[in-house]
Structure 1
Amino acid sequence: MGLTGNVASGKSTVAELWRSWGVPVVSADVLARQAVLPGSAGLASVVRAFGEGILAPDGSLNRAALRRVVFDDDAARRRLEAIVHPSVRVLRDKWTDARRSWGVELLAWEIPLLYETGADREVDRVVFVDAPEAERERRMVQHRGLSSEEARAIMEAQGDPREKRSMAHHVIDNGGSLAALRARARQVLEACAEEVGCPLR
């Protein structure tokens, strides 16, 4: 299954719920951080592309500095994605192959850029998590320390979610309570499992 959604929609919460019900979920964001750890070929490539100004004093990647470089520059963002995405794909496939070798049938990839990277064509079901814009903005301001202007700029850069909603097999609306999200996440998980022939135990 492919689990996706725009920023602050709650997809990571859904991923945690699925894990608690025994379904392995790998996060592309976590893999992206692994791909640019200090000493990695990925980080060396990022530094060659964008300069040492994107490094923290300890030699790790300064994500805030890199975000400032690429956020308003489409060419720079594409250059960064061309460096990081192939490494993420390799790590993701290794993770998947390992679990397949253990006999795991039902698993999920949590990928914010699922459609943009073409990963939607590699999964049996796509689940899109969504929430009202005002709620997503509030979450980014309260939980991530962004200003309202920064939050709105990020949401605008990700575009209108309606097209992605229409392409997904299932949509989880996360504008209400955690209990409501939990119930819907379980309902969608059971539906996906049934549809791909791997009923939950």
Structure 2
Amino acid sequence: MLVIGLTGGIGMGKSSAAAHFKEHGVPVFDADAYVHKLYEGEAVPLIEAAFPGTTRAGRVDRGLLAREVAGRPERLKALEAIVHPLVTQAEIDFLCAQEERGAAMAVLEIPLLFETGAETRVDVTVTVSAPEEVQHRRVLEREGMTLQKFEALRARQLGDAERRARADHVLESGSTLENLHGQLDALIESLKLKDGRVMERLRGSRS
């Protein structure tokens, strides 16, 4: 099975690309969505122990937690040390399950793919990119988003130029959704010709 790592900065169109993979029958693991699940389950007692007072009614209060780690790199690293291993194990379990079902390829949708070293767990990396002005417009149109929040989120991510340079494939999402879908259709067809190698190693790391 071929493992595809899908990434892209906030507002670049990564979710639209992931949705199109799904429409082609390619299973997708959404790392961000899984973190939300952890914040309502398995990670709650671990985070409360490390960051007392940041949980409410059995779930992590994301606002309180964000304030706890804001501007404190050592606290952010402590949080990542809790969350990242749980997400990584869930990704491996997902991939093994998809392989057992006979999937030819599967996608890990990971916003911080390169930042967290997750590119070592995929065969192919794909980034979605758009011009900066398009990114700004998309993000600032989101409910509750401010320029300050946007800049804080972007500060945690690689710059678009570096992400493009490191990815095996770049999808341009600055124009129409149809254009993005056309690029994805061509990419998916080309990836059908590639052999996956990373699963051999990941199978052995499954707990």
Residue 26 (structure 1) aligns with: 29
Output the CA distance in 2 between the equivalents of 1:135 and 1:162: 15
The answer as to whether partners of 1:137 and 1:152 remain within 8 angstroms in 2 is: no
Counterpart of 1:8 in structure 2: which amino acid? Answer: G
Residue 12 of structure 2 corresponds to residue 9 of structure 1: yes
Give how far 1:24 is off.
Answer: 0.5
TM-align CA RMSD:
1.7
Give the TM-score of the pair, scaled to structure 2: 0.86
Counterpart of 1:64 in structure 2: which amino acid? Answer: G
Output the CA distance in 2 between the equivalents of 1:69 and 1:132: 32
Residue 157 (structure 2) aligns with: 158
Output the CA distance in 2 between the equivalents of 1:125 and 1:144: 33
The answer as to whether partners of 1:31 and 1:92 remain within 8 angstroms in 2 is: no
More helix by share: 1
Output the CA distance in 1 between the equivalents of 2:47 and 2:142: 28
The correspondence of residues 30-179 of structure 1 with structure 2, limited to 5 A, is 30-38=33-41, 40=42, 42-52=43-53, 54-56=54-56, 58-179=57-178
Matched residue of 2:137: which SS? helix
Output the CA distance in 1 between the equivalents of 2:158 and 2:117: 17
Moved over 3 A (4+): none
Q: 1:158 to 1:24 in 2, by over 3 A?
A: same
The answer as to whether partners of 1:14 and 1:185 remain within 8 angstroms in 2 is: yes
Give how far 1:148 is off.
Answer: 1.9
Output the CA distance in 2 between the equivalents of 1:78 and 1:131: 29
Counterpart of 2:19 in structure 1: which amino acid? Answer: E
Give how far 1:156 is off.
Answer: 3.2
Output the CA distance in 2 between the equivalents of 1:134 and 1:144: 18
Output the CA distance in 1 between the equivalents of 2:16 and 2:64: 27
Output the CA distance in 2 between the equivalents of 1:153 and 1:29: 17
Q: Greater shift after overlay, 79-88 or 173-182? A: 173-182
Residue 195 (structure 1) aligns with: 194
